[in-house]
Amino acid sequence: MKTWKKRTKAVHAGTRRSQYNEVSEAIYLTQGFVYDTAEDAEARFIQSGDDEFIYARYGNPTIAMFEDRIAAMEGAEAGFATASGMAAVSGALTSMLRAGDHVVSAQALFGSCLYILEEVLTRFGVEVTFVDGTDLAAWEAAIRPDTKAVFFESVSNPTLEVIDIAAVSKLAHAVGATVILDNVFATPVFSDAIAQGADVVVYSATKHIDGQGRALGGIILGTREFIRGTVEPYMKHTGGSMSPFTAWMMLKGLETIELRVRAQANTAAMIAAALEADSQLTQVIYPGLETHPQYPLTQTQMGSGGTVLSIDAGSQAAAFKLLNALEIITISNNLGDAKSIATHPATTTHQRLSEETRAALGITPGLVRLSVGLEDPDDLLADLRGAIAGL
Ligand SMILES: *Cc1c(COP(=O)(O)O)cnc(C)c1O
């Protein structure tokens, strides 16, 4: 399996068949497992093997298939599936940190990630320093000999800044800090983050992994030692585990993720290039455009600009008018979905931030985030052109 390409792993890695030899992965909707003898129960609580389960909060065959499949795709030794992307982000950080520790984080973060770092960790005595994630000198200045972890989104939400995984990892590893990466926008398809230096990779499976807007989920990926020794004890006792039914949906999502995400990214690139030429928009942000400040890094790190672009209509009124005029693209706040989705971050996902913080992060009143789906590319472009023409 080690020599398999990602697309083959996405379909076959981690498969565990029952005595019936089913083709499609079985859903084990069971909370517990029977032990033949009291001695067997005792032995399993002391040390359980890869195919020995105790309780669904600790693990389950369907969940294990999902964990092993995505770990194989990412090149990670192990994974722990979680109830949501935020359970994965908070679990990865909280399981390894304690009072007195120092963390350096990029400041351009998804609102809930910012809440974990700014409000939750600090409440338990963890010191957090925020930096401009695209500025390597700022990382270097902020990372101290006692820094325990660094955290960033490889592509930030919604301003699509791309952060240099290899360079930041090098700075972090020089002091022995753990690199924890929220890799949602890169997707498992365009990610090579572990090889590039990340120690821990986290995904919200709610996004491209399900890809069809059905369920919340998340995954923490890393070394066997980190996942089994640090993450698992924390997650299994605090309760943020994934449900077996969700794990089955995510397994099915992984089977098609390569095809879906590449098609979505191709359409996103086409739309970004077409809209960049449109003078009515103040700005088109897409990491796959040559005008993007981190275009060369995007090419070497991901080889694609991804499935999301952001456009600036100039003002909140213009952004709302544009959103309300869209006929195919829906107004919602998920991303990575088969359905194209438009979001106004300033009034929804990033509403909690102060006007000053939003301005500092580049979340302007006219900014619209566009998650490109699986519809016909020409239909999507026509939908956007029609809405923009009405401004
Ligand atoms: C959506 C998202 C999350 C949170 O995931 P949920 O599954 O909604 O909990 C975390 N980080 C990023 C970058 C996201 O886009």
The helix/strand/coil state of 81 is: strand
Question: Is residue 188's pLDDT more than 90?
Answer: yes
**pLDDT tens for residues 326-372?**
999 999 999 999 999 999 999 998 888 889 988 988 999 999 999 99
pTM: 0.97
Collect all residues with Cβ–Cβ distance below 8 Å to 171 and sequence separation of at least 6. 136, 139, 140, 143, 150
Contact 106, 133 (CB under 8 A): yes
- The atom of ligand 1 lying closest to the CA of 185 is 13
With the most atoms of ligand 1 within 8 angstroms of its CB, the residue from 109, 201, 207 to mutate is 207
Within 6 Å (CB) of ligand 1, which residues are found? 84-86, 89, 110, 112-113, 153, 157, 182, 184, 204, 206-207, 216, 218
**pLDDT tens for residues 59-72?**
999 999 999 999 99
- The atom of ligand 1 lying closest to the CA of 207 is 1
Residue 25 Cα to chain centre, angstroms:
24
| Closest C-alpha residue for ligand 1 atom 2 | 204
Question: Is residue 282's pLDDT more than 90?
Answer: no
Contact 239, 90 (CB under 8 A): no
The closest alpha carbon to 147, from 123, 177, 125, 121, belongs to 177
Torsion angle in degrees (nearest 10) through CA of 334, 338, 341, 346: 30
**pLDDT tens for residues 288-322?**
999 999 999 999 999 999 999 999 999 999 999 99
Calpha distance 376→364 (Å, rounded): 29
Collect all residues with Cβ–Cβ distance below 8 Å to 343 and sequence separation of at least 6. 158, 331, 332, 333, 335, 349, 368, 369, 370, 371
